[in-house]
Every structure is written in C-alpha cells, then in structure tokens.
Amino acid sequence: MGKTLFDKVWDAHVVDVIENGPQVLYIDKHLIHEVTSPQAFNELESRGIPVARPDKIVATADHNTPTLNQHLPVKDLLSRNQLEQLTKNCAKNKITLYGLGHENNGIVHVIAPELGFTQPGMTMVCGDSHTSTHGAFGTIAFGIGTSQVAQVFASQCLLLEKPKSLRVNVNGKLAKGVLPKDVILYIISKLGTNSGTGYFCEYAGNVFEEMSMEGRMTVCNMSIEMGARGGMIAPDETTFEYVKGREFAPKGAAFDQKVAAWKTLPTDADAIFDQEYSINAEDIGPMITYGTNPGMGIKITENIPELEDASFEKSLAYMNFKKGESLINKAINYVFIGSCTNSRIEDFRIAAAFVKGKKKADNVNAWLVPGSQKVAKQIEAEGLKAIFEAAGFTLRQPGCSACLAMNDDKIPQGEYCVSTSNRNFEGRQGQGARTILASPLVAAATAIEGRIVDITKQIN
Amino acid sequence: MEKFIQLTSTAIPLETENVDTDQIIPARFLKATDKLGFGDNVFRDWRFHKDGSLNESFPLNKSIYGGSILVAGNNFGCGSSREHAAWALAGYGFKVIVSSFFADIFKGNALNNGVLPIQVSEIFLKDLLDKIQADPTLEINIDLENQSISYVNGEEAFEIDAYKKVCLINGYDDIDFLISKKDKINAFEATR
C-alpha cells in the first residue's frame, strides 16, 4: 500500500517508538511567542535543564503587542512584562528573536513562511493552535501546549500518538468572489467543528492545486477549527517557487537537491486514508458565520438554519440572531481585516481592489492589521495604503490584534464585527463582542456599505 | 506532577457543548508569566456578568453543586491551544473532566497537568448529567488503575494511553522521559 504525504513526513521524523504508547517525533523548527513560552522557560530553569537546540527556535512578539505607536514603551504593564520576559529568555538561551519594531517582526504564522523558515517535508510546532498554517507547504505543523513547548526546549522532540489520516478533496471551478477563506469555512460548516479531531487532514483536488501559497495557508490555518491537529497540501511548483530565494531557504545546488526530495512527498496514488470527503467547488459560495463556533457558517445568500438544540439556541441568543433569518442588511459597526488567517499581501490586494474609489460607511470602524512588517511595507509600496486611507480605513501596525483582543484592539460589548480572523467564540474579540467570520472581500464590502451585503450581486 | 490513582467526589454539571478554551480562560487573563492564579478566572465571563456581579444561574456558582469533577457537554476544550485552560481548571480544583468528546490539544494539556480527561459515551454522559442535576450529592468514583468511572446504578470503562496512565499514577512527566532518550535523539540528528 502506498503512503500518504503525512505518513512520509511523519515516518522520516520518528526517533523511537514506545510499545503500546506514543512515538518520539523529532521537531525541525520550533516557533515561540511571548504568551505560551514563559512558563516553559521557567520549567526548564527550575529543573536545571538547558535548551537543547536554540538554533532550531525562532521567536517573535505578536499576541500581546499594541498595533499603534510600537516605537513607544508598551503601556500595559503585564503585557510589557511578558514581552521583556521573552527578550530576556531569548538572550539567555541564544534564541533568535524578532521583537517589536524589528523588520522581520509579525504574526508567527506570517513571518516564518515569509522568511523561508517554513519548508516542505518539515516538522514544525508552536504554542499556538494555528500552527497548522504551515501545512500549506507539505509540512507537518501543529499547535502544542506549554508543557510540550518545554519538552521541545529540553529534547527537540515530542511524545505523540500518530494521528489518523483524513483527506478532503475539492474539485471543480470556484465561482467569482469565492476565496480560499470561503472554501475552508464551507468545509468546516459541512463537516463540523470536531470532524477532524484525532486526524491530520490533507486537502487535495484541483482547487488547492490552483491556489496560491497564501490561499493554501488560509485553508490550512483553519484546520484546527474542525478539530484537526493540522492540515497539509502537497508541495508542487507553486510551493517551490514561493520558497525559492527567501532569506532562510536553501540556496543554489542545495535548493535543487531539496526540491528533488520534496517532489517525492506527495501522497501515492494507492494510499488509503482512514476518512475521506469530496466536495464540489461549484457548491461553495461566499461564506459568513452566524454563531459562536466556526462551524456555524452559511453562504451569504442563505438563511440561518432552524435547529432545536440547546447549545445552538444559546449561541444564537449570544449573537442576537433569530432562527431562519438572513444576515443580509444587518448593520455592522466594526470590520477587522487581519490575523494569521487573512493578513497577507493578497488579502489586502483583494480588499483594496474592492475599496478603490469608494468610501467606508460613516458608522463603520475599519481596522486593517498587516500580518508582518514586510506585509506593511508592501501595502505601502504597492499604493494600497493610499487607497485604504482615502476610503477612511485605519491601517495599524502588525500583530494578532483584534483576532483575540489581548491588547487594546477590542470590539465593544454587544457590537458585531465582520472579521477575517478564525474564531467567532463568545467574547473572542472582547467581552460581549459578536464576531462574524468572512473573507477579506466580504469584510471590505461590509465596511463600505455599513451592513452585510450580498457580495455575489456586486461582483457579477 | 501530583500522582493520580483514585478519586471519589461529587461533580459539577456543565451541559453546554463545544466549550472552547477562550471560555475556560479568556485571552485577557493570559498575561501572566507563571502558572498561578488562573483558577480565579476560570469561566470568568460565564461566572460573572459584565458589571462584575455573580451569574447565579451558572452551575459553578450554584451552592448545591461542588466537587473536583466537571461533567461537560460534547467537544470540550476546542479552540486555542492555551495550556492556561488546564491550569485554570486545575487551579479551581478540578481533577477530572468528563465529556463525550475532547479536543486533542486540550486533552494533552490536561494530562500534562495531572487533570484526567475521561471520555464516556453520549448515553452515559446524558444519564450522568441527569443524575447529578436530580441529586447534587451524587458521588462519582474514578478508578484510574482499572479505567472505570462509576456511580450508583452506572458504570463505564474508559480508554487512556498506557504510557500516560503510568505517568499519572506515578506523577511522571514527559520531560524526564524525553531526556532519557538523549542518545537516540543525538543518533537520529546525526543521520540528517
């Protein structure tokens, strides 16, 4: 029997197998940030254990950082302390840190691909569930808890049970205005938020083959929202072209050698998955969520389903929506374009193309938060900043920002926010805030109209 | 890590499904650099109203309920990988979480902090929730050695990874184990 992409990468990283127990998996790249690392550093220090391979760790400050006036000292004392801890811990352990203001700083899942740290066939971990993003490169990448961060610090390995395999095939032609975000929101809405638990998911089919690397990252990013530890897409010419020439990618003959190895990674034709689903691209439309988990999504043209279920009703009560109603024409006062799901240059190009020559509605606060310093520079260099500013949008500095609202970027109590982020949990964007997940195109259109509109009418 | 072998306790029922780690511990409480004090803020926005007053209807606030077992709806612990959720539940005093389904990362985080996640069938869960609500003094027995959860007129066996079971019973953690594999890890690195 043939092997899957996941099997090939996993098997190449197994150091040891414990009888009736987990496997010892070697980790090629460990990404860390200020929120989930301090307790791991403390753990090692209290036990007198050194960091095993500091050269395989890259650190950034992103979760807890302000998106305005980053040149000034961070006002929130607890946040500042957390950032200082990261700086101290990295200096002490000789770990590369791209701190606030550094030209390579940004959201961990935006900077690692951008700098060429993320490469096909690797194992990558980070104390952040959206580490699944890097699977877009044919990489086994997944989020871990802080105890596991400490384990990787101590040994460069993790003890894990090998997950089962799942494949989601999407074939056909996507309609105009249907973006990678819509594809993944549609998949999660159909399969459910725990359909992937215990699995690693491969996305296959012409829709993903034709997608850009940035689109593939958006898709893999949200694998965790259906419970899957990670998602993967087979590396191909699009992948190699993206990696080529990036700062920390192999160069010259070394790169060619790597490409030859990467070409052997895709799933064999006769490989069998534990679970498999197929979706027609034609069935997917621009999506929007109406509830408090990412599986509660509908096509923007559809009505909220009518289910008899206590958790479903609790969710609608929180959102102040009714069963059976449409979201079209709902007034929206906040729009957020950002997060590790949708804060790359293509996302801002899509938003800018729609916004160009228009003005945002007076009632709307439109926040744009680039995923990295590099994306921020590109927004300016391509003239997008001027378009956004003319339309009345606020372009802020890079970070996780209103995706999880750890900093000051909070949506007020009771307000709706159409957001390109990944989670619409209760209070995710601020206490009492109501999040509606959507693509950058739907978010941009909402900002212009000040209400949710049927984007399919505007683009056809 | 504290050893876990056996437990008899009353339980707190939380019927809600898809309880995500943002509810268990909201992001604004993740600014600490140690593991202490998270228990004070467990389920913060469900335990307290926006004005800071106690939400009397939330099960953790009902004086009839108590104990170190939380019995929760399907797909508990989904969402963010924050281990702070496990620290918050442990800090509040929970030693066992019972649900019909757990999210992967949360399950691992709980085990790494001596909190035992017990996955039971939907039928068992529903019956258990009903029984606790009918009689909050109901005692539940957890026997890790024999992998069984039981109460009057109800018993079910549960699965746990054999390695993790040994860790819990002895209070070991993965770091010690991984460091003991140093030679194999070095040999593996040498082949790359």
Q: Which two tokens stand for residue A366?
A: 């439109």
- Taking an 8 Å cut-off on Cβ atoms, the answer to whether B163 and A145 are in contact is no
Classify residue A371 as exposed, middle or buried by CB count within 10 Å of its CB (0-12, 13-18, 19+). buried
Nearest-angstrom CA–CA distance, A101 and A71: 7
**Facing residue for A156 by CB, picked from B30, B78, B185:** B185
**Percent of chain A surpassing pLDDT 90:** 98
Whole-number pLDDT of residue A7: 98
Q: What is the mean pLDDT of residues B54-58?
A: 96
Nearest-angstrom CA–CA distance, A398 and A376: 7
**Percent of chain B surpassing pLDDT 90:** 93
C-alpha distance from B8 to closest chain A C-alpha (Å) = 27
Which residues on adjacent β-strands are paired with residue A201?
Answer: A166, A231
Q: Is the pLDDT of residue A133 over 70?
A: yes
Q: What is the mean pLDDT of residues A126-146?
A: 98
Whole-number pLDDT of residue A1: 85
Nearest chain B residue (CA) to A151: B175
Whole-number pLDDT of residue B89: 98
Report A:306-325 residues touching B (Cβ under 8 A). Answer: 310-311, 314
Nearest-angstrom CA–CA distance, B81 and B73: 19
A-chain residues within 8 Å CB-CB of B189?
Answer: 26, 156
Nearest-angstrom CA–CA distance, A259 and A262: 5
In SS3 terms, B136-182 reads as CCCCEEEECCCCEEEECCEEEECCCCHHHHHHHHHCCCHHHHHHCCH
Report B:119-148 residues touching A (Cβ under 8 A). Answer: none
C-alpha distance from B80 to closest chain A C-alpha (Å) = 6
B18 touches chain A (CB under 8 A): yes
Nearest chain B residue (CA) to A131: B81
| CA dist list (Å): A375 to A349, A440, B88 | 11, 15, 36
**Facing residue for A144 by CB, picked from B32, B81, B86:** B81
Q: Is the pLDDT of residue A268 over 70?
A: yes
Inter-chain Cβ pairs, chain A and chain B, closer than 8 A: 173
Nearest-angstrom CA–CA distance, A132 and A135: 6
Q: What is the pLDDT of residues A185-202, one digit of tens each?
A: 999 999 999 999 999 999
Q: What is the pLDDT of residues A35-78, one digit of tens each?
A: 999 999 999 999 999 999 999 999 999 999 999 999 999 999 99
- Taking an 8 Å cut-off on Cβ atoms, the answer to whether B175 and A155 are in contact is yes
Q: Is the pLDDT of residue A391 over 70?
A: yes
- Taking an 8 Å cut-off on Cβ atoms, the answer to whether B105 and A79 are in contact is no
Q: What is the mean pLDDT of residues A384-390?
A: 98
Q: What is the pLDDT of residues B126-161, one digit of tens each?
A: 999 999 999 999 999 999 999 999 999 899 999 999
What global pTM score does this model have? 0.97
Q: What is the mean pLDDT of residues A156-161?
A: 96
Whole-number pLDDT of residue A460: 64
Q: Is the pLDDT of residue B32 over 80?
A: yes
Q: What is the mean pLDDT of residues A77-82?
A: 96
Nearest chain B residue (CA) to A130: B80
Q: Is the pLDDT of residue A417 over 90?
A: yes
- Taking all residues of chain A, what is their mean pLDDT, rounded to a whole number? 97
Q: What is the pLDDT of residues A320-331, one digit of tens each?
A: 999 999 999 999
Q: Is the pLDDT of residue B50 over 90?
A: no
Handedness of CA A287, A289, A295, A296 (dihedral sign): negative
Whole-number pLDDT of residue A140: 98
Whole-number pLDDT of residue B43: 98
Q: Which of B38, B174, B186 to mutate to test the interface with A (most CBs of A within 10 A)?
A: B174
Q: Is the pLDDT of residue A455 over 70?
A: yes
The ipTM is 0.95
